[in-house]
Amino acid sequence: MIITVAKSDEEVRRALEPYRDIVVIGCGTCATICRTGGEDQVKEMVEKLVGWGKNVLASMVVESPCDVRIDKRDLRRIEDEVEKADALLVMSCGVGVQAVGEASGKKVLAALDTVFLGEVEHIGRFLERCRECGMCVLNETEGLCPMVLCAKGLMNGPCEDMINGKCGVIENDVDCVWVKVWERMKNEGREDAFLRVNPPLDRSVKVGAMKVTW
């Protein structure tokens, strides 16, 4: 799940300043679960925009705005409004914002901040679990992601900030992931695995604008 949080009203308002005729687009998938871009949040946003003196031409929740095909299909229903709009305000993750821009060819603005890829423990509690490193090392680290769960992204922890098994960098009393890795290895009787030096990561894997094609 891609976890999002709402930008402040002030920031959204500032981004919208040059524009008057607006279409608001929500997300029926992740942002609905995060309660940042579902039906209710879109409705609230429309009310806010009206309050700020904007002219809201249309609003809709696209099933998954990150999919250009679905954007094209769903936006057809409000084709004229999209055409007339000065900007589309998209209440989805950054991927959705960009895909809607591509599908519509229009100016798009982001209403949310995309914060992480996380698991959903329950609605209202989302936990970061992956930073899409492109070379998953979970098989070396007992199924615990060091890029995310270690504040320094170390491949051979722990470090000097480990205090009583907790990470002294990450707030809220979080366990040092390297202590957990050790415990899991120990429980499996594989203590020696902890002595292995994991090699440096190949940073060239993530140069940006990656593509997967086949």
Residues that bind ligand SF4 (CB under 6 A): 130-133, 136-138, 145, 147-148, 150-152, 154, 157-159, 161-162, 167-169, 176-178
120 binds, among other proteins, ligand SF4, none (CB under 5 to 8 A by kind): none
With CB under 8 A as the contact rule, the residue among 163, 188, 190, 206 that binds other proteins is 163
The answer to whether the beta carbons of residues 131 and 23 sit under 8 Å apart is: no
User: Distance (Å, rounded) from C-alpha 182 to C-alpha 159?
Assistant: 13
Neighbours of 175 (CB within 10 A): 15
Q: Give the range of 10-18, 19-27, 82-90, 165-173 binding other proteins by CB under 8 A.
A: 165-173
Among residues 21 and 140, whose Cβ is nearest to ligand SF4?
140
Among residues 18 and 200, whose Cβ is nearest to other proteins?
200
144 touches other proteins by CB under 8 A = no
Among residues 121 and 192, whose Cβ is nearest to other proteins?
192
Name the token pair of 184: 């899991």
What is the smallest separation between the CB atom of 130 and ligand SF4, expressed in angstroms? 3
What is the smallest separation between the CB atom of 171 and other proteins, expressed in angstroms? 9
Provide the b/e sequence for 112-145 (b: ≥16 CB within 10 Å): bebeebbeeeeeeebeebeeebeeeeeeebbebb
Among residues 96 and 158, whose Cβ is nearest to other proteins?
158
Q: Give the range of 20-28, 29-37, 73-81, 161-169 binding other proteins by CB under 8 A.
A: 161-169
Tokens 């029926």 map to which residue? 28
Interaction residues for other proteins, span 92-111 (CB under 8 A) = none
126 binds, among other proteins, ligand SF4, none (CB under 5 to 8 A by kind): none
With CB under 8 A as the contact rule, the residue among 48, 133, 159, 184 that binds other proteins is 159
6 touches other proteins by CB under 8 A = no
Provide the b/e sequence for 20-56 (b: ≥16 CB within 10 Å): eebbbbbbbbbbbbbebbbeebbeebbeebeeeebeb
Phi, psi of 69 (to 5 degrees): -65, -40
List, edge to edge, every strand of the sheet that includes 21-27.
55-62, 21-27, 87-91, 108-110
Which three-class secondary structure state does DSSP give residue 119? strand
